[in-house]
Structure 1
Amino acid sequence: MDHASSESKTPPSGRLDLAALRALAAEGAIDTVIMAAPDMQGRLQGKRVMPRFFSDSVVADASEGCNYLLAVDVEMTPVAGYDFASWDRGYGDFVFRPDIATLRRAAWQEGAAILLCDIALHDGSLAPIAPRSILKHQIGRLAEAGFSAYAATELEFLLFRNSYEECMRRGYRNLDPANLYNVDYSILGTAKVEPVIRKIRNALEASGIQVENSKGECNLGQHEINFAYGPVLDCADGHVLYKEAAKEIAGEENCAISFMAKFNEREGNSCHIHLSLRDRENRAVFAESDGHSRLFGHFIAGLAAHAAELSILFAPNINSYKRYAVGSFAPTGLVWGHDNRTCAFRVLGHGKSLRVENRLPGGDVNPYLALAGMIAAGLDGIARELPPAGAHTGNAYHGDLPRVPRTLADALSLWRNSDFARVAFGDQMVAHYARMAEVEIETFGAAVTDWERVRGFERM
């Protein structure tokens, strides 16, 4: 084989095919292949594999991993109550099936490539409760109806000038935010953190994830990086790779990044999701010459109708619900409006760029589940030709409007009793993610918090 330079073998986008991977490995430019699958929390779990073993064995035969990865809490503790995996079932293996279309350089790591995997069962079928499988199922339903979805996420984070280890040793108190005042849109303020943010932007661009821009946000040390609009699965894949890369890069710079929905009493981290549909001829279908299409009206009606019962897909944690506060730019009213940031669903753009922005998710969202929920709700609106309510005008924080569930427990009750969710996702998926929410509620209920110590240590 003629071994040309790595630049000539690597597509400009940073994406790789197997031939390019083999050539780069032969040159010594790639010595590690990261195989990763998104878990229930949207984190990447997997293995680092040698390139020759990956090419010779994994591509043909896949790889295996313990199925407890889809039945643990955030602390990686095996949790009772899951039908998919348990001590009674012996915690066997499932299959990491590599999706070669996602293969790319991991430009933030020396000598590494990365690709995402689907989680499959030993009969070859996709695990129905794996997040990537759930989104693929909804994409399939959408295709049967004659449509495809395009999306982008706007994911905010807080940047601290403390290492992750120092943050942990401090008990996540008295940390040093990277900015000490509101730097929303500030060029001067964002220049102070540009060495870290620039490194993230450039690493993702070099890894085949097209970056549009970065900007400051309102909370101290808060920023966001935005990416190009694209097919919905690519959007979710890029989202989880971005989170992984950003955290790793921050760690290398002795900094820490947090995507939690509500770190303190100031503004929380949001993850606004923009979405639109196209038909089989790849034509945008949300707009007509005189404004919104009838199909768009049905889609937005489905989103509004099912938003409350899908809340655990948009807001999966106890902390998620603390983000929803009046005047916080996190919505509380489950209505839609034209370019209205007080509404849960903000409609913006025109012509082929007309889209809906879902403002409910926070930075802790699993993008596969949130996008699957949006598609399922919109499809139901289209199928039943639901009539949309009129666009909300004015301040959606006030008035007699349907509201976001106040707590994860309220959201869990709506999810568990949702006939729509069972039809759209299946009983197994509904039960699995209900148990995930239960675990969070049970764990939080058993914890003694700083708030309790402050209130009760001396004065009670």
Structure 2
Amino acid sequence: MTTRHPKLLSLEQLRVKITEGEVDTVIVAFTDMQGRLQGKRLHGHYFVDHVIEDGTEGCNYLLSVDVDMNTVDGYEMSSWDKGYGDMEFALDFDTIRLLGHLPGTAMVQCDLVWLDHKPVVQSPRTILKDQLAKAAAAGFTALAGTELEFILFNTTYEEAWRTNYQDLPAANQYNVDYSIVGTTRVEPLLREIRNTMYDAGMNVEGAKGECNFGQHEIGFLYDEVLVTADNHAVYKTAAKEIAAQHGQALTFMAKYNEREGNSCHVHLSLRGKDGELVFWEKDKRSATYDQFIAGILATMRDFTLLYAPNINSYKRFAGGSFAPTTVAWGLDNRTCAVRLVGHGPSARLENRVPGGDTNPYLALAAMLAGGLYGIEKGLKLEPEQTGNAYESDKPKVPTTLREARDAFAQSELASLLLGDDVVRHYTNMADVELAAYDAAVTDWELRRSFERM
């Protein structure tokens, strides 16, 4: 089983660092619907004197806005009629870490609860913790890893905004997949991100180049599911901040251009409460493992909204792209939505549907919900997909946000496994994005129509 990273701080260690002047700022942060860290920066002594005991709060609109932080209609938990009240940031003192790229700064992640201390059930971290509780009740613990890709540019975020994100200079001018010389070109940034994340309490594996120009991946060791999701959110934010300090910009968006998109392959396995193997028996997969896979496949289309939450997410799903188009599983087969890798203690499944824009809490919660459902119902696993899944007759992954939204909203399983409140909340999130996109006039339309139509 995993052990707590030695670089993470205890509450008492944080107190000492604040008292001695080593830390003067504490970021209190939660992860919002879009997978972003939101919160506030607190003076260290105020944090020690008041927040540790009394807590801190924020407006409940933070889980009811669009990407631009505009308040929008349709959310039951927060509205003008309800007055946009507060919710409490419930500090999780197991998540205290130093952020070496920000002088004198530590971070504490948190859950969201109402002022009567009841959980905000629509919060991504709460949704994941609910599924972890179900796993524990069934006698399981869960381990996960997320493989997050990004594209790096030799420009600032401000300049990218000013030029409307057009013709940005990629940090590499050719495919640097596994290339040492290609990654050496950007190693100063990659090295700082790796070392900063290690010092922030993450078990860093390494970095490698990817296929798109300027595309890279930094990998982290498998860990307990909640730890992995927390680390994912911190890493994603810190990587952008460190890039900005280098005068560069990087994006995790699922599909930046017509070349390869940014994936976030999610690896997941179960263990027993004492760490015993669950997915493997002697020299073969266990029945429990097969049922778990079957459950993920059975819920794949219904839960795609939680794996691919944005309009842009669906641009990844194309034949021959290494992003899946069919709901199928295979042994070490990268053309399938679910790829099985490893054996014995390393046996795990890889969900290849999520992109770099996925919310890790929601993706992992969906996988656990589906897999546990498969175990509970004893679902039978369909035959393995061999060969090219892109050319198979298997069911297709939704190809648009609208299709995924409808599958989720109409899913009896989603309501059963996640709850009606969660289904309505994230259906509305999709509706907000669809309405915004439907109202937009794109560069593609302008180029095709301005003169010639």
Q: Distance in 1 between matches of 2:191 and 2:166?
A: 27
Q: Distance in 2 between matches of 1:225 and 1:212?
A: 7
Q: Distance in 2 between matches of 1:297 and 1:56?
A: 52
Matched, 1:23 2:27: no
Partner in structure 2 of residue 406 of structure 1: 399
Q: Report SS of the residue matched to 1:307.
A: helix
**Do the aligned residues in 2 keep the contact of 1:13 with 1:205 (CA within 8 Å)?**
no
1:313-352 equivalent positions in 2, closer than 5 A = 313-352=306-345
**1:56 Cα deviation after fit:** 2.0
**Do the aligned residues in 2 keep the contact of 1:120 with 1:127 (CA within 8 Å)?**
yes
1:143-292 equivalent positions in 2, closer than 5 A = 143-292=136-285
Give percent identity, aligned residues only. 54
Partner in structure 2 of residue 124 of structure 1: 117
Where structure 2 has 5 or more consecutive residues not aligned to the other structure, the ranges are none
**1:221 Cα deviation after fit:** 0.3
Residue 384 of structure 1 aligns with an amino acid whose one-letter code is K
**1:288 Cα deviation after fit:** 1.2
Q: Distance in 2 between matches of 1:207 and 1:230?
A: 15
**1:235 Cα deviation after fit:** 0.4
- For residues 261-298 of structure 1, the C-alpha deviation after alignment (integer angstroms, 9 at most, x for no partner) is 00000000000000000112211210111310000010
**Do the aligned residues in 2 keep the contact of 1:324 with 1:332 (CA within 8 Å)?**
yes
**Do the aligned residues in 2 keep the contact of 1:308 with 1:405 (CA within 8 Å)?**
yes
Where structure 1 has 5 or more consecutive residues not aligned to the other structure, the ranges are 1-10
Partner in structure 2 of residue 3 of structure 1: none
TM norm structure 1? 0.97
Matched, 1:419 2:412: yes
The change in CA–CA distance for 1:300 and 1:12 in structure 2 (over 3 A counts) is closer
Partner in structure 2 of residue 43 of structure 1: 36
**Do the aligned residues in 2 keep the contact of 1:18 with 1:55 (CA within 8 Å)?**
no
Q: Distance in 2 between matches of 1:306 and 1:426?
A: 15
- For residues 372-422 of structure 1, the C-alpha deviation after alignment (integer angstroms, 9 at most, x for no partner) is 000000011000000001111100001211110110000011000101110
Q: Distance in 1 between matches of 2:105 and 2:6?
A: 16
**Do the aligned residues in 2 keep the contact of 1:134 with 1:425 (CA within 8 Å)?**
yes
**Do the aligned residues in 2 keep the contact of 1:269 with 1:363 (CA within 8 Å)?**
yes
**Do the aligned residues in 1 keep the contact of 2:145 with 2:223 (CA within 8 Å)?**
yes
**1:14 Cα deviation after fit:** 2.1
Partner in structure 2 of residue 64 of structure 1: 57
**1:29 Cα deviation after fit:** 1.0
**Do the aligned residues in 1 keep the contact of 2:5 with 2:203 (CA within 8 Å)?**
no
Partner in structure 2 of residue 306 of structure 1: 299
**Do the aligned residues in 1 keep the contact of 2:35 with 2:359 (CA within 8 Å)?**
yes
Out of 431, 442, 447, the position equivalent to 2:440 is: 447
Q: Distance in 1 between matches of 2:392 and 2:383?
A: 15
**Do the aligned residues in 2 keep the contact of 1:333 with 1:396 (CA within 8 Å)?**
yes
Q: Report SS of the residue matched to 1:310.
A: helix
Partner in structure 2 of residue 459 of structure 1: 452
Q: Distance in 2 between matches of 1:368 and 1:280?
A: 21
**Do the aligned residues in 1 keep the contact of 2:308 with 2:358 (CA within 8 Å)?**
yes
- For residues 160-195 of structure 1, the C-alpha deviation after alignment (integer angstroms, 9 at most, x for no partner) is 000000000000001000000000000000000001
**Do the aligned residues in 1 keep the contact of 2:140 with 2:273 (CA within 8 Å)?**
yes
- For residues 55-78 of structure 1, the C-alpha deviation after alignment (integer angstroms, 9 at most, x for no partner) is 221111211100000000000000
Q: Report SS of the residue matched to 2:192.
A: helix
1:99-110 equivalent positions in 2, closer than 5 A = 99-110=92-103
**1:12 Cα deviation after fit:** 7.9
- For residues 44-102 of structure 1, the C-alpha deviation after alignment (integer angstroms, 9 at most, x for no partner) is 00011112221221111211100000000000000111001011111110001110000
Out of 377, 381, 393, the position equivalent to 2:370 is: 377
Q: Distance in 1 between matches of 2:338 and 2:430?
A: 24
**Do the aligned residues in 2 keep the contact of 1:163 with 1:255 (CA within 8 Å)?**
yes
Q: Distance in 1 between matches of 2:38 and 2:283?
A: 47
- For residues 291-330 of structure 1, the C-alpha deviation after alignment (integer angstroms, 9 at most, x for no partner) is 1000001000001111000010000000000100000000
Q: Report SS of the residue matched to 1:357.
A: strand
1:61-100 equivalent positions in 2, closer than 5 A = 61-100=54-93
